[in-house]
Amino acid sequence: MKFLDQAKIYIKAGDGGNGCVGFRREKFIEFGGPDGGDGGDGGDLIFEAARNLNTLIDFRYHQHFKAERGENGMGKNCTGKDGADLVIKVPVGTEILSEDREEVLADLSKDGDRITLLRGGNGGFGNAHFQGPANQAPDYANPGQIAPEAWVWLRLKLIADVGLVGLPNAGKSTFLATVTRARPKIADYPFTTLHPNLGVAKVGELEFVIADIPGLIEGAHEGAGLGDRFLGHIERCAVLLHLIDGTEEDVAAAYKTVRGELKAYGGGLARKKEIVALNKVDALTEEMREEKRAALAKASRKKPILLSGVSGEGRDEMLRALAKIVEKARDPMAQDDEDEIDEDAGDGSWRP
């Protein structure tokens, strides 16, 4: 299935039905009079989050959505039938944005979340509604109300507990394939990952979702490489796992490059809990390991975990560290452990 995380669609609620102009004409009935019924109300346009969906690909081929119009009123005081509501199902984690993308109209972050984005138009009054002492035979009726319409953007932000970040070829996909049953594309060239991948890891009885996004390079927030559009998929994560390629000449610079892009993007990513890992240590000598771990610790102000997706070194320690933070995020009342990994210091300036 092709992954699509943004789509622009046209939506319109149902117009109200017109009121009817009618008069009673029956044999052997002495008095007539108006009997035009009211028009039916138009259908509402509703968005609903469904957990069985994980992409917006359907909206590439179906981009116009209109709720049903209310039926017109009829004679004998018959009211028109109301139009049926139109329910548009989207993946859990979908944001609905205005056409200019400046306003978030709705955020459907839980399975079953529903929002009525556009209300259907009211049905018009028939001429029987206007009958009174001063007007015994009104010959007019109201038209149905025109329903609102709009162009909106749908933006999917995946629901994951752990987000993998790092430069291209940092080993993110290999780590995901090692600790979960996900099978992302793995190759020895940059930007192998072209769209986010999800996998479910398990530590004891705790299961949590890991999201692997395409690698970041310097200038990603300005559109360099694949840009930063996929960072939205880790905005909801409890913790970021920052992987640094141990074969890089300057691991400190690699760390600072990605942190700079997270800060430039915003969205609270720079303030999230972060675990730093020196990856691909199976390719390093003991002397190089210590040298690069010291350099990375100085740059990140954290104690890096030595990790290898190929040999499995550090994998269990990493999963336990991630599980601890995820479990605490799911239970905010839990107390902090003394040995919890230090939070980021220095570059987590407050943002509105």
Model pLDDT, residue 16: 95
Pick the residue with more confidence: 303 or 334? 303
Q: What is the mean pLDDT of residues 293-319?
A: 88
Domains and CATH numbers, the chain: 6-156 (2.70.210.12), 162-330 (3.40.50.300)
Which residues are CB-neighbours of 105 under 8 A, at least 6 positions away?
Answer: 96, 97, 98, 117, 152
Q: What is the mean pLDDT of residues 54-72?
A: 91
Pick the residue with more confidence: 268 or 256? 256
CB contact at 8 A, 151 and 12: no
219: pLDDT confidence band, cut at 50, 70 and 90?
low
For residue range 103-130, list pLDDT tens digits in order.
Answer: 999 999 888 999 999 999 999 999 998 9
Q: Which helix (H) or strand (E) holds 53?
A: none
348: pLDDT confidence band, cut at 50, 70 and 90?
very low
Model pLDDT, residue 229: 65
Rounded CA gap, 46 and 64, in Å?
14
DSSP state of 82: P
Least confident of 233-237, 295-299, 319-323: 233-237
Q: What is the mean pLDDT of residues 25-53?
A: 88
Q: What is the mean pLDDT of residues 276-304?
A: 89
Model pLDDT, residue 310: 79
Does 224 score more than 70 pLDDT? no
CB contact at 8 A, 43 and 133: no
Pick the residue with more confidence: 68 or 61? 68
**CA 191 vs CA 225, 333, 334: distances in Å:** 8, 40, 39
**Tokens in use for 213?**
């996004």
Phi, psi (degrees; rounded to nearest 5) at 178: -75, -40
Model pLDDT, residue 1: 47
Pick the residue with more confidence: 264 or 333? 264
Q: For CA atoms 99, 102, 107, 109, give the dihedral sign.
A: positive
192: pLDDT confidence band, cut at 50, 70 and 90?
low
At residue 300, the 3 state secondary structure works out as: helix
CB contact at 8 A, 279 and 258: no
**Angle at the Cα of 299 from the Cα atoms of 290 and 346, rounded to 5 degrees:** 145
Model pLDDT, residue 193: 61
Model pLDDT, residue 181: 78
Q: What is the mean pLDDT of residues 288-305?
A: 89
Pick the residue with more confidence: 5 or 149? 149
349: pLDDT confidence band, cut at 50, 70 and 90?
very low
For residue range 70-92, list pLDDT tens digits in order.
Answer: 999 998 889 999 999 999 999 98
**Tokens in use for 195?**
């769209």
Q: In DSSP terms, which residues pair with 243 in a beta bridge?
A: 277
Model pLDDT, residue 220: 59
**Which has the closest alpha carbon to 68: 45, 48, 39, 37?**
45
340: pLDDT confidence band, cut at 50, 70 and 90?
very low
At residue 117, the 3 state secondary structure works out as: strand
For residue range 134-171, list pLDDT tens digits in order.
Answer: 888 899 999 999 999 999 999 888 778 888 888 888 88
350: pLDDT confidence band, cut at 50, 70 and 90?
very low
Pick the residue with more confidence: 281 or 330? 281
